[in-house]
A = this chain, B = another copy of it.
């Protein structure tokens, strides 16, 4: 009679595979069984979800909108089942954490073991992606918790600030700025800054600082990671900004490049958690925050 959760699951699988036989396999049923359930769903909704014409299956435009709704429903179902587990035994099960690449290597190595130790029934899964991707994933209920720079559009997510992470200046040894004890805004004027490639939120931060200090971005160069960036600075190709946590946690950095503090009114990023308001882990998050704060690099500890 009425729509079924199972039909919605099948529907979404088919809408990603776009092939009945292959989708049926993913659903662990036979192809005719899938065909009939999809047909039932289409009859129930009173519209065509798939175009199955010329040898290939595609979602109709109506199907697209229905798929959006179906994802929302199944996400809510997932939340309900998760909360049920959580009520029986909180701080257990899968905790899927998403972290940006300019944070992960400096925070996680110390915090993750501590987290595992504090909550031994948690099974931690870490995913490292850039901000946009992480937000997509958490909104689609593929992640439970993000650790990122909070100075971004959070699309309705809840957030909690954990650390202030000031930026430091990295220059080649022997650079003319190195004699100064503190770098002021005017010192950066016309300096060439090497920056990360597009999509890294740290890049946007650094561009703001460029604009403010009238430094300019080095043309024809975009690094894909902080370590590349450090290598280029060491090679004398320019200067760059680094987060304090990186400088503190990676002892090699100070041996490779000169680290200089920026002006008093120092630019910084705010590192913190973000999560879906409907997450069944909402109430656990302040506890995780405690662990993250306690086992963080000294330079950001409040």
Q: B-contacting residues of A (Cβ < 8 Å)?
A: 2-6, 45-47, 62, 65-66, 69-70, 72-73, 76-77, 79-81, 83-85, 87-88, 278
Contact = CB atoms under 8 A, between A and B. Distances in A.
Given A2-B5, A3-B5, A45-B84, 15 more contacts: A4-B4, A46-B84, A47-B87, A62-B84, A65-B83, A65-B87, A69-B79, A72-B76, A72-B79, A72-B80, A72-B278, A73-B76, A73-B77, A73-B80, A76-B76
A159 to B, nearest CB: 16
A17 B211 CA distance: 63
A15 to B, nearest CB: 14
Contacts of A72: 76, 79-80, 278
Nearest to A69: B80
Contacts of A66: 80, 83-84
B5 A81 contact: no
A77 B8 CA distance: 10
Nearest to A1: B6
14 contacts: A2-B5, A2-B6, A4-B4, A4-B5, A46-B85, A46-B88, A47-B87, A62-B84, A66-B80, A69-B80, A69-B83, A72-B80, A73-B73, A73-B77
Nearest to A60: B87
Contacts of A77: 3, 73
Contacts of A6: 2
Contacts of A73: 73, 76-77, 80
A3 B85 CA distance: 14
A85 B5 CA distance: 19
Nearest to A156: B156
Contacts of A69: 76, 79-80, 83
The CB with the most chain B CB atoms within 10 A, among A6, A85, A87, A278, is that of: A87
The CB with the most chain B CB atoms within 10 A, among A3, A46, A65, A69, is that of: A69
